[in-house]
Amino acid sequence: MNQVVDIQELNYTYPDGNAALRAVSLQITAGEKVALLGPNGAGKSTLLLHLNGILTGSGKINICGLELNKTNLGRIRALVGLVFQNPDDQLFSPTVNDDVAYGPLYMGLAPEEVERRTRQALAAVHMEGFAPRMPYHLSSGEKKRIAIATVLSMQPEILVLDEPSAGLDPRARRELISLLTGLPQTLLLATHDMALVRELAQRAIVMDRGEIVANGVTGEILAKREVLAEHGLE
Amino acid sequence: MDARLKLAFTLGFILTTSLAPPGSWVTYLLLWTLVLSLVQLAQVQIGFLMRRSLLALPFALAALPQLFTHQGTMPPAITLSPVHLDLLAPGVIRFFSILLKSWISVQAAVLLVTTTPLPELLMALRWLHVPQLLVAITALMWRYLVVLVDEAKCLLTSRNARSPSLPGSGGSLFWRGHVTGGMAGSLLLRSIERSERVFSAMQARGYDGEIRSLPRPVLSRKQIIFLWLALLGLAVVLVIGTLVMGRAV
């Protein structure tokens, strides 16, 4: 099986002494859609931030066969598209076009290729006409779509999303699920949204207090009500 | 019109205005007429422009000492007792010249920012070789200003929602100051946390400390000729103002 994410014994402690990850080991194969479940403070976001080297703990991380280290950091950041929980953190440029073009620009692509990818990414999230718009003037659902486009333009192998459905109304949430279902990339999403997990993810991983406490097929994990309740999920 | 032309012309206009000699009232009138014509063309409300141009008032304060300190051969226009301050005619002319010049310049700047979307203005700044880092900081400040204002509004709403108006309530002035200070501190902490998250988002997409941007479209020959002619026109106004109407003050 072609493993695109291989994490071995990952530990991370924040500078204030809070141990956020404890011996986390995790493998994800190409094309898998995996949900990361857990209560607040379980370490989900911390784990996601490790996948493209924003945080660096002890342990081993391999992305698409490349070991995560300083030498491979640039290539790995192009392979892992990280979408933050709050789109206002992700969309920092004056226009949508600038934001979507940001990643390809830093990949050192030619201007024509940057423009082509920007157009493609906006089309993939059905936001073609939004290129000259200012991010502040968009709705939450639109911002979320554009945030996804900002990483799709880098054509990543793995898409990592932190709480993708947070703050969305039912219609925007429905559109997001439809969009994510159609994407060919390997997907890892951290969420509390059990309905989203049920519809989208083939595999679910439960984390609590920095550890993986359950890992399996979504249907089976969601059926273990006592495990979910024990770890603050329902 | 292309933002680069507008920015270059506005900078040329402000330079011309500031170089116009003191007391060259006709030159000021010509320049102001030009601003008003452009305001008319751009369909900007004159009342809006006038209100915004009050930003020039602090310049008047800076020019105030000119009224009393300018050295000249003319006798005092007025002597203010009992502190015996001589209000000198050349000083008065300089004072009003500075006041008018700053007022006209601010109007031109207000017209520029009113009629040009900021992303285009930032692109124009890059075209003028303003340091990339400065342009990037301006872009981020502009992008997050509204977000911070929204957060401040949320804090104020939260405070107001918990501030019932009952007889004898309200707390002391010191206590209110304490609460407001706490809110300002909270806003600062939120801003710092947000800046860290934004930096992480930039890093995640490859930011390596170097500012990069998409290449700018090239100005056409027609646009460049138009810009040079417009700047030449300003230079002619300045020369006429200096040679014909300028006064040695």
Which residues in chain B are contacts of A149 at CB distance < 8 A?
none
Distance of alpha carbon A218 from its chain centroid, rounded? Answer: 18
What ipTM was reported for this prediction?
Answer: 0.84
Residues belonging to chain A: 234
**Selected residue of A49, A50, A88 to mutate for chain B interface (largest B Cβ count, 10 A):** A88
**How many whole angstroms separate alpha carbon B187 and alpha carbon B152?**
7
- Rg (C-alpha) for chain B, rounded Å, is 25
Q: Are A101 and A122 in contact (CB under 8 A)?
A: no
Structure tokens at B199: 């930096």
What's the gap in Å between the CA of A148 and the closest CA on chain B? 12
Q: Are A216 and A203 in contact (CB under 8 A)?
A: yes
Q: What pLDDT was estimated at residue B82?
A: 60
Q: Which range, of A133-147, A182-196, B85-99, averages the lowest pLDDT? A: B85-99
pLDDT, averaged across chain A: 90
Structure tokens at B22: 């003191």
Q: For residues B107 and B248, which has the higher predicted lDDT (pLDDT)?
A: B107
**How many whole angstroms separate alpha carbon A54 and alpha carbon B87?**
65
Q: Are A10 and A50 in contact (CB under 8 A)?
A: yes
Phi first, then psi: give them for residue A81, nearest 5 degrees.
Answer: -95, 115
**How many whole angstroms separate alpha carbon A152 and alpha carbon A138?**
19
CA distances from B93 to A55, B54, B67, B90 (A): 63, 20, 8, 5
Sequence-distant (≥ 6) Cβ neighbours of residue A94 within 8 angstroms = A134, B118, B119, B122, B139, B142, B143
Farthest CA pair distance, chain A: 54
Secondary structure of chain B in HEC code, one letter for each residue? CCHHHHHHHHHHHHHHHHHCCCCCHHHHHHHHHHHHHHHHHHCCCHHHHHHHHHHHHHHHHHHCCHHHHCCCCCCEEEEECCCCEEEEHHHHHHHHHHHHHHHHHHHHHHHHHHHCCHHHHHHHHHHCCCCHHHHHHHHHHHHHHHHHHHHHHHHHHHHHHCCCCCCCCCCCHHHHHHHHHHHHHHHHHHHHHHHHHHHHHHHHCCCCCCCCCCCCCCCCHHHHHHHHHHHHHHHHHHHHHHHHHCCCC
Q: Are A119 and A60 in contact (CB under 8 A)?
A: no
For B209, which residue in chain A has the nearest alpha carbon? A106
Q: Of the candidates B230, B231, B11, which has an alpha carbon nearest to the alpha carbon of residue B121?
A: B11
Q: Of the candidates B61, B28, B62, B54, which has an alpha carbon nearest to the alpha carbon of residue B107?
A: B54
Nearest neighbour of A77 by CB, restricted to B118, B139, B204: B204
- Tens-digit pLDDT profile for residues B101-149: 889 999 999 999 999 988 888 888 988 888 888 888 888 888 888 888 8
Q: Looking at residue A69, what DSSP letter applies?
A: S
What amino acid occupies position A87?
Answer: P
In chain A, residues 90-149 whose CB comes closer than 8 Å to chain B? 90, 92-95, 98, 101-103, 105-107, 111, 114-115, 132, 134-136
For A72, which residue in chain B has the nearest alpha carbon? B206
**How many whole angstroms separate alpha carbon A99 and alpha carbon B156?**
31
- Tens-digit pLDDT profile for residues B65-115: 776 666 655 555 566 666 555 666 677 788 888 888 889 999 999 999 999
CA distances from A51 to A45, A60, A81, A116, B5 (A): 10, 11, 9, 27, 45
Distance of alpha carbon B127 from its chain centroid, rounded? Answer: 20
The answer to whether A14 contacts chain B (CB < 8 Å) is no
Q: Does residue B154 register a pLDDT over 50? A: yes
Which residues in chain B are contacts of A134 at CB distance < 8 A?
119
**How many whole angstroms separate alpha carbon A122 and alpha carbon A128?**
5
Per-residue confidence band for B248, with pLDDT thresholds at 50, 70 and 90: very low
**How many whole angstroms separate alpha carbon B20 and alpha carbon B27?**
7
- Tens-digit pLDDT profile for residues A24-72: 999 999 999 999 999 888 999 999 999 988 999 999 999 999 999 989 9
B99 burial via Cβ count (<10 Å: 0-12, 13-18, 19+): middle
- Tens-digit pLDDT profile for residues B166-184: 666 667 778 778 888 888 8
This model's pTM is above 0.90: no
Q: Are A29 and A2 in contact (CB under 8 A)?
A: yes
For A51, which residue in chain B has the nearest alpha carbon? B204
For B203, which residue in chain A has the nearest alpha carbon? A54
**How many whole angstroms separate alpha carbon B170 and alpha carbon A120?**
57
B214 contacts A105? CB cut-off 8 A: yes
Q: Looking at residue A216, what DSSP letter applies?
A: E
B202 contacts A92? CB cut-off 8 A: yes
